[in-house]
Amino acid sequence: MEFHCTFAGANLKLYKNEESGVKIGYDIVVYQNVYTNWKFRNYIKQSLNQNEKGLISIMEIPTDGAHGYAMGEVITQIAYKMGEEKFLVMIKKLNPTQINELEGYLEVGLMYGYEDKELQTEFPALYQYFRDADE
């Protein structure tokens, strides 16, 4: 789904709910301005290219309620698309607070976007990394 606006005869694509195969939930697309959506799509691309700064930027976007679940779904899609091994290499550059936040996003992303799948079974190496980080 894309949202368009016609201005002076030009059809402008304002919001796009997909980037590089990662679906972006309605709650994220609609409640951010055009510029923030553009930046968000760039953060997804950066993350898929194993740049932890893109992932950190995604997690720094303020969320609440359904928006937080939708954000978790986006981050979970990134993990699936990258593969667990590459995703794990990337997140090792995050600080402990970011690691804790990421674990929460992945858990709700699996619950919300993947019909109650669990972190331990979907991403066992990530699950173990989070357990080790808690010690």
For the stretch 104-129, pLDDT in tens is 999 999 998 888 799 999 999 999 99
- The ranges assigned to domains in the chain are 2-134
Residue 17 is predicted with a pLDDT of: 84
Beta carbons within 8 Å of 37's beta carbon, 6+ residues apart: 14, 15, 16, 28, 29
Task: For residue 14, name the pLDDT band (cuts at 50, 70, 90).
Answer: low
Instruction: Identify the pLDDT of residue 121.
Output: 96
In 10 A of CB 95, how many CB atoms?
Answer: 9
pLDDT of residue 54: 98
Q: What DSSP string describes the chain?
A: -EEEEEETTEEEEEEESEETTEE--HHHHHTS-HHHHHHHHHHHHHHHTT-HHHHHHHHHS---THHHHHHHHHHHHHHHHH-HHHHHHHHTTS-HHHHHHHHHHHHHHHHHHTTS--HHHH-HHHHHHHHHHH-
pLDDT at residue number 52: 97
Structure token pair of residue 7: 């201005």
